[in-house]
Amino acid sequence: MSSNHGDLPILPGATLGVLGGGQLGRMFVHAAQRMGYFTAVLDPDADSPAGRVSHHHIHTDYGDVDGLARLAGLADAVTTEFENVPAPSLEHLAVARPVAPAAPAIAIAQDRIAEKAHFGRCGVACAPYAAIETAAQLAAVEDRLLPGILKTARLGYDGKGQQRVRTHAELVDAWQATGCVPCVLEQLLPLDFECSVIVARGRDGQVVHFPPQRNLHRDGILAVTEVHPQNMPKTVAQAAITGAKNIANGLGYVGVLCVEFFVLADGSLVVNEMAPRPHNSGHYTMEACDVSQFELQVRTLAGLPLAMPRQHSPAVMLNLLGDLWFSAGDDTPVSPRWSEVLALPGAHLHLYGKIEPRRGRKMGHLTFTGADAGQVRAIASQVALLLGLPPVA
């Protein structure tokens, strides 16, 4: 699905471009620069975290034809840091430059209805659901899907665009509250825990993967990720890896792909959604593995060989939201207690270069590594208490 222009691999010394200037773009830029590449970022925010550290920052909208032409003129290949970049922009760039992931994969990830259909074609089970695009489809929803979660088909992330509904009447009200936009209704299932798998697939079809991550979300936002051999049963881990590979292969995907799963009370697995990019749950790879998800993003984009990542240290990651900078009832931001945190062994702080802390905004993360899972969990729990975060589950 990815265009192939010019000679591959694209070697260090060339310029790699990225649509999107957030923290994922910033970490891609750092990985590319460490490997000897120049970088170009296109983002409408003049103070975007990635734009501030890149060699080139094209300050324009993602659909601006002139801006896209400038990016194609600078970059030898282009990727994206988030799935809501317009797919037509990727198609436009792909006429002149290799683009990975390609527009068709991004378009599927942007639409939950298309995404679930793709999962089905790949033989990967998802929760029972109904697509709701018309009043007739709304009226035809089966009772067995209630209670459920109504999700907008497009532009939902971090729990946004989602409503729990228990009855048909609540479903009707919830759909009307969306403005009657296309949605999916997913049956609520008895959930044990959540996990994700990050795979990287090259243009030659080679697929490598990281160990499955066990994730804890709060208010729809990832809060804690644990990665060590004891984080889930081996049968669950292998099923998640197989499912993620099938989804990537079914797309003819090129790039880094994260697939999120629900593990049910009976031990079975259903796929939730995919993210066609590096993922928050994979940030631990920068310290705990011999190759990070961002280096694999560089390698897949540039057509470089892929090596199976090796995790050398158990890891726990804590997401850091802007709430940490504020006391209850006080709107004046105060820097958290980083000195005390960094005095602990195995603590790695990443702040994303966002100028203004805001409640609910992703400001950074902490990764903890150590000799064994018990030690790492203990230190992560100590830091959660120190920062006033909820306990590590």
| CATH number reported for the structural domain that contains residue 142 in this entry | 3.30.1490.20
Say if residue 198 is in the same domain as residue 326.
yes
Residue 287 inside a domain? The answer is yes
Say if residue 256 is in the same domain as residue 173.
no
Residue 110 inside a domain? The answer is no
* CATH number of domain containing 254: 3.30.470.20
pLDDT higher than 60, residue 5: no
Mean pLDDT of 55-64: 97
Structure letter (DSSP) for residue 210? P
Say if residue 344 is in the same domain as residue 204.
yes
Beta strands at 38-42 and 56-58: parallel, antiparallel or unpaired: parallel
Confidence of residue 361 (pLDDT cuts 50, 70, 90): very high
Residue 375 inside a domain? The answer is yes
Question: pTM here?
Answer: 0.95
Say if residue 314 is in the same domain as residue 291.
yes
Residue 107 inside a domain? The answer is no
Within 10 angstroms of residue 99's Cβ, the number of other Cβ atoms is: 31
Say if residue 246 is in the same domain as residue 151.
no
| Structural domain boundaries, residue 134 | 128-187
| pLDDT at residue 103, rounded to an integer | 97
pLDDT tens for residues 107-119?
999 999 999 999 9
Beta strands at 207-209 and 255-264: parallel, antiparallel or unpaired: unpaired
Say if residue 377 is in the same domain as residue 246.
yes
Say if residue 145 is in the same domain as residue 289.
no
Cβ atoms of residues 225 and 293 within 8 Å: no
pLDDT higher than 60, residue 271: yes
pLDDT tens for residues 10-27?
999 999 999 999 999 999
Say if residue 330 is in the same domain as residue 202.
yes
Question: Across-strand partners of 224?
Answer: 216, 318
| pLDDT at residue 328, rounded to an integer | 78
| pLDDT at residue 370, rounded to an integer | 97
Say if residue 248 is in the same domain as residue 377.
yes
Q: Of 99, 119, 136, which residue sits at a domain end?
A: 99
Confidence of residue 2 (pLDDT cuts 50, 70, 90): very low
pLDDT tens for residues 121-132?
999 999 999 999
* CATH number of domain containing 27: 3.40.50.20
pLDDT higher than 50, residue 320: yes
| pLDDT at residue 244, rounded to an integer | 98
125: left (phi over 0), alpha (psi -120 to 50) or beta: beta
Say if residue 201 is in the same domain as residue 291.
yes
Residue 238 inside a domain? The answer is yes
Residue 118 inside a domain? The answer is no
What does the alpha-carbon distance between residue 150 and residue 170 come to, in Å, rounded to a whole number? 10
Mean pLDDT of the chain: 95
| pLDDT at residue 393, rounded to an integer | 75
Residue 276 inside a domain? The answer is yes
Mean pLDDT of 345-370: 96
What does the alpha-carbon distance between residue 345 and residue 379 come to, in Å, rounded to a whole number? 8
Say if residue 199 is in the same domain as residue 333.
yes
Confidence of residue 7 (pLDDT cuts 50, 70, 90): confident
pLDDT tens for residues 147-203?
999 999 997 665 577 999 999 999 999 999 999 999 999 999 999 999 999 999 999
Q: Of 78, 99, 120, which residue sits at a domain end?
A: 99
Say if residue 38 is in the same domain as residue 164.
no
| pLDDT at residue 156, rounded to an integer | 66
Residue 122 inside a domain? The answer is no
**What does the buried/exposed string (b/e) look like for 8-47 if buried means 16 or more CB atoms within 10 Å of the residue's CB?**
bebebebbbbbbbbbbbbbbbbbbbbebebbbbbbbbeee
Total domains in the chain come to 3
Mean pLDDT of 275-298: 98
